[in-house]
Amino acid sequence: MVSYIQSWTQLFEERPIWSRGWIQYRTKLPNVIVRSLLALVSYYFTNGPWKMLWVRLGYDPRSTPDSKRYQCLDYRLPREIAAVSTLEARRSKLRKGLIYAGSKKQDEFQLSGDSVQLAEAVADSNAPETEACPVFIAHQLPTQRQVYYQLCDLRDESLQTLLHANDGREDECSVSVYFGQKRP
C-alpha cells in the first residue's frame, strides 16, 4: 500500500490535477482501488472550473493562474450526432461491465456549414487502442456521448493557441471564473 501511495504522490507531482479517467488509463487499476487511493493523496472539486477533478493535497488551483490549463471542459455531442452515432451511453457500458472495452470502430465527423456528415472509419488494427484515452482529438468522435476533458488534453493546435492567448494577463481564479476570464 505504501508503494502505491508513493507512486501516486509522484503522479501528482508530475501534474497537480487529474481526472479519474486519466488516472485509470495511466495505472490500469480497477475503479474501486483508484477511488480508495485518490482519497489518500488528493481532494475532489465538485463544482467550478475544476469540477470532477482530483487535486494534489496542499495545492490550490485558484491561487495559481497557470492552473487554468487543468480546468474541466464538459463536452457533449449534439443530439443530431448522438442520435445517428453508434456510441453507447456510458451507463449502458457500465451495466454490461464494458466501460473501457469497445469495438475497434471509430466515428469521424466533419462540420460543413449547417450540415453534419458522419462517416465511419475502421481503425487500423496496428494503431494503439484509443478507446479509453481521455484526450480530445479534433475531427474524431469521443468514446462516449458526454466526456469531461481537461484543457491541457485538447490535442488541437488552434484550440491550444486560443487557450494560451491571455497567458500572464489572468486575474485570480475562483469558483465562478472559468478559462482565465477577467472579473467584471
Domains and CATH numbers, the chain: 2-63 (1.10.10), 74-158 (no CATH)
Which three cell numbers, joined as nine digits, stand for 134?
Answer: 481521455
Yes or no: say if 179 and 163 are a contact pair by the CB < 8 Å rule: yes
Which three cell numbers, joined as nine digits, stand for 44?
Answer: 475532489
**DSSP 3-state of 5:** helix
What are the CA-CA distances from residue 133 to residues 27, 100, 170 (Å)?
A: 12, 9, 30
Task: Please report, in tens digits, the pLDDT of each residue of the chain (184 residues total).
Answer: 678 788 889 999 999 999 998 998 888 888 888 988 999 999 999 999 999 999 999 999 998 888 989 999 998 888 777 666 666 555 555 444 444 444 343 333 333 333 233 222 222 323 344 445 778 887 887 778 888 899 999 888 888 888 888 777 776 665 565 555 554 4
| DSSP H helix total and E strand total for the chain | 6, 9
As a whole number of angstroms, the distance between CA 143 and CA 87 comes to 7
C-alpha angle 43/183/58, rounded to 5°?
20
Output the pTM of the full model. 0.67
Q: Up-side HSE of residue 21: CA atoms within 13 Å toward CB?
A: 20
